[in-house]
Amino acid sequence: MPGKQPNLFAFNDVNALAPALRSYVISCQNAGLTRHDAFKVGVSGGSLPKTLAQALLAEPTSEEDTVKFDKWEIFFADERAVALDHDDSNYALLKTELLDKIPAAMGQPTVHPIDTQYLSDTQELADQYEKTLVASFAKGDSVKLPIFDLLLLGSGPDGHTCSLFPGHALLRETDAWVAPIEDSPKPPARRITLTLPVVTHSVKVAFVATGAGKKDIMKQIFEEGNGLPCALVNEATGERCSWFTDNAAVEGVSFPRRGFL
């Protein structure tokens, strides 16, 4: 149904994708600022932090085009149960690729990493991270799920997103906001992740998927679905979901592209 489908944007390369991603993120930021004077964003790992840095650290072209980092609250869409300076840490990746590069004049975001005193117990690690979300989103009778202003996600070659893997029982989680996973098929095995209802409840969801290595899974996600986690997000969020891809990632994918305005 037109208008209900996710937006698929395809660019020549990451250099062309980055300015569009910037303008999209800033429009989500500005909507968040209007709603609650803050921008609550969840990010994942993979190649996303690098692309995000390219997008966000560029020079602004106008007043509206300003990244207001001091209003940002950054959460992790998923995280590995490792120390914050470990090679596998998504926090460490974001810090190296983006946080450490933000000039003081741009303001500094509030960042919510996992509490590493609970690393030995992934259920507790997830529960504690959920408490971090509760403190920001005020879970209660009227708030059944947190509403992120934006989730910035990647897609694995198997169609996973966050640490929600194809066919995994975690896809059926309905109560928790954050859940542990002990048997991630992609190492490291022990992680925490936002659950599917939280992901699909976000005001906007953006995927960044680039490179020819994504072509096969993009075909499956957009043409067949197959219950793949990324396809489940597409189906539940429709037009609230946008894919920032390059031509190599969507070559041969039968799904209408949108022009990015």
Ligand X SMILES: O=C(O)[C@H](O)[C@@H](O)[C@H](O)[C@H](O)COP(=O)(O)O
* Sites of contact with ligand X (CB under 6 A): 44-48, 78, 90, 154-156, 160, 163, 186
Q: Are 148 and 240 in contact (CB under 8 A)?
A: no
Question: Whose Cβ is closer to ligand X: residue 97's or residue 149's?
Answer: 97
**Cβ of 236: how many Cβ atoms within 10 Å?**
15
Residue 162 beta carbon to ligand X: minimum distance, rounded to whole angstroms = 6
Hey, what are 46's tokens?
């993979």
Please say which residue, 135 or 169, places its beta carbon nearer to ligand X: 169
Which token pair is 21? 């991603």
> What string of DSSP letters covers 65-124?
T---GGGEEEEESEEESS-TTSTT-HHHHHHHHTGGGS-GGG---EE----GGGTT-HHH
Taking the complex as a whole, the smallest distance from the CB of residue 184 to ligand X amounts, in Å, to 7
> Is the Cβ of residue 107 or residue 185 nearer to ligand X in the bound state?
185
To the nearest whole angstrom, how small is the minimum distance from the Cβ of residue 45 to ligand X?
3
Using CB positions, name the residue nearest to ligand X. 46
Nearest approach, Cβ of residue 215 and ligand X (Å): 12
- Beta-carbon-side half-sphere exposure of residue 244 (alpha carbons within 13 Å): 27
| Helical spans, DSSP H, in 107-189 | 122-137
Residue nearer to ligand X on the CB measure, 47 or 110: 47
